[in-house]
């Protein structure tokens, strides 16, 4: 680890070798890069990460099209192309491992071993190395060798049975949530392992999977089964345990409301002329059991009010409420920009492009100042930094942070 610079982020000075591809591992690597770590992405010569070819949409010149999928999960990284089956590629990876704090991989279990880099050898090369290993269904057990693809795991792990308009309408979540969650859990686990390394001086292997990540967020739906013996099913856009909580029609539109307490229910009912004392609505449990009648009563109260005036009336009554925005509306929203959730980067082919930004911010509570990283680098071209990384490994001075992302 190198000297830390607070301006770069809390992980400045840490080196991450990212062997992963597609989304789960790259998302974890990007989280670390956003926090200031130097992340070197190792890619297949010629083709690079699979997501470089996932599209449309592609943007940029026809001769060098850039996949927006790849751009979504690789900012603040450097790229080097290595054939890990070759003597040269294995030698470069060996040099990187000796210097690294973290290695991220999401090969199928056993692949890294066959390439000559099983965990025991990695720790012989660098006892302080923390290894994050992400698989589809787990690294052991009867189905460890199965390939892990997000939508398949969403189905296998029960998430699709909970998503959709009803029990006969299973739906995938609109983003690759199993991939993203496993990357987030993985980043969380390896940060814990880095903290433990401060006490022990030794690295370790952190393992998670797409399956584990989805089961890990079953939350109250999981305990409905494990404790209460129920088998939850999809219920569309209404909360299974709170009512009224969901998406409701109004005049020429829809709004969402969350009435999560009896105090809010009384205020809501009073504001919209609903009899809160009706026996079937007397408490939350009865409102949940009588949801069809409740939804009908709410939508009758909303029927003559358009969405924007309705939202104003809900806010005036103190009821949490909102609209369903399209993504163009989200990225034009002042609140999103105020939170740093859109960042501009300079791409060597595309010029200035805007990317969804990192979701964490950092503050000094005593001085009242923010130390969140503000300058970000574009996702790299394939092997963009290969020569510079090889020179550094050969003994040349490590490039400064601002220089390490130049073409």
Q: What is residue 32's predicted lDDT score, i.e. its pLDDT?
A: 97
15-19, 21-25, 164-168, 268-272: least confidently modelled range: 164-168
As assigned by CATH, the class of the 245-322 domain is alpha beta
Among 12, 150, 179, 383, the active-site one is 179
How many alpha carbons fall within 13 Å on the CB side of residue 183?
22
Average pLDDT, the chain: 94
Long-range contacts of 247-251 (CB under 8 A, 24+ apart): 247/324, 248/295, 248/298, 248/299, 248/302, 249/299, 249/302, 249/303, 250/299, 250/302, 250/303, 250/305, 250/306, 250/307, 250/310, 251/302, 251/303, 251/304, 251/305, 251/306, 251/307
Q: How far is CA 303 from the centre of its chain?
A: 38
Strands 363-364 and 351-356: unpaired
Q: What is residue 80's predicted lDDT score, i.e. its pLDDT?
A: 98
pLDDT digits (tens, 9 = 90+) for 41-51: 999 999 999 99
Q: What is the C-alpha to C-alpha distance for residues 370 and 387, in angstroms, rounded to an integer?
A: 35
pLDDT digits (tens, 9 = 90+) for 327-364: 999 999 999 999 999 999 999 999 999 999 999 999 98
In the chain, CATH 3.30.1540.10 covers 245-322
Tell me the whole-structure pTM to 2 decimals: 0.91
CB atoms within 10 A of CB 152: 17
Q: What is the C-alpha to C-alpha distance for residues 137 and 208, in angstroms, rounded to an integer?
A: 9
**Active site (annotated) includes residue 179:** yes
**Among the listed residues 395, 155, 391, the one whose alpha carbon sits nearest the alpha carbon of residue 403:** 391
Where does 6-217+335-393 sit in CATH, by number? 3.40.50.10540
């Amino acid at each position: 680890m190198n000297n830390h610079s607070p301006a770069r982020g809390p992980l400045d000075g840490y080196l991450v070798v990212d062997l992963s591809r597609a989304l789960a591992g790259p998302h974890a690597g990007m989280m670390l890069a956003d926090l200031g770590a130097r992340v070197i992405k190792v890619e297949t010569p010629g083709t690079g990460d699979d997501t470089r070819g996932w599209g449309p949409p592609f943007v940029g010149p026809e001769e060098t099209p850039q996949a927006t999928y790849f751009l979504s999960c690789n900012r603040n990284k450097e790229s080097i192309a290595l054939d890990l089956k070759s003597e040269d590629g294995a030698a470069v990876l060996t040099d990187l491992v000796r210097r690294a704090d973290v290695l991220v991989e999401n090969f199928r279990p056993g692949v890294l071993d066959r390439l000559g880099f099983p965990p025991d050898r990695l720790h012989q090369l660098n006892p302080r190395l923390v290894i994050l290993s992400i698989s589809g269904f787990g690294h052991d057990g009867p189905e460890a060798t199965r390939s892990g693809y997000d939508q398949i795991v969403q189905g296998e792990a029960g998430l699709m049975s909970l998503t959709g308009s009803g029990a006969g309408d299973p739906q995938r979540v609109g983003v690759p949530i199993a991939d993203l969650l496993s990357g987030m859990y993985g980043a969380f686990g390896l940060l814990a392992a880095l903290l433990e390394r401060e006490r022990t001086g030794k690295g370790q292997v952190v393992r998670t999977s797409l399956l584990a990540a989805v089961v890990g967020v079953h939350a109250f739906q999981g305990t409905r089964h494990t404790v209460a013996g129920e088998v939850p099913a999809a219920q569309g856009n209404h909360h299974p345990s709170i009512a009224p909580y969901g998406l409701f029609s109004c005049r020429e539109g829809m709004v969402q409301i969350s009435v999560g307490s009896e105090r809010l229910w009384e205020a809501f009912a009073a504001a919209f002329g609903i009899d809160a004392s009706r026996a079937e609505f007397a408490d939350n449990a009865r409102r949940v059991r009588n949801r069809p009648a409740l939804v009908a009563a709410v939508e009758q109260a909303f029927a003559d009010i358009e969405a924007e005036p309705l939202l104003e009336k809900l806010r005036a009554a103190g009821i949490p409420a909102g609209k369903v925005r399209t993504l163009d509306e989200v990225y034009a929203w002042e609140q999103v920009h105020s939170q740093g959730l859109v960042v501009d980067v300079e791409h060597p082919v595309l010029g200035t492009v805007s990317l969804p930004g990192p979701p964490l911010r950092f503050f000094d509570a005593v001085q009242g100042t923010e130390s969140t990283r503000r300058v970000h680098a574009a996702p790299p071209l394939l092997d963009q930094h290969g020569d510079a990384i090889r020179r550094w490994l050969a003994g040349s001075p490590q490039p400064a942070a601002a220089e390490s992302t130049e073409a």
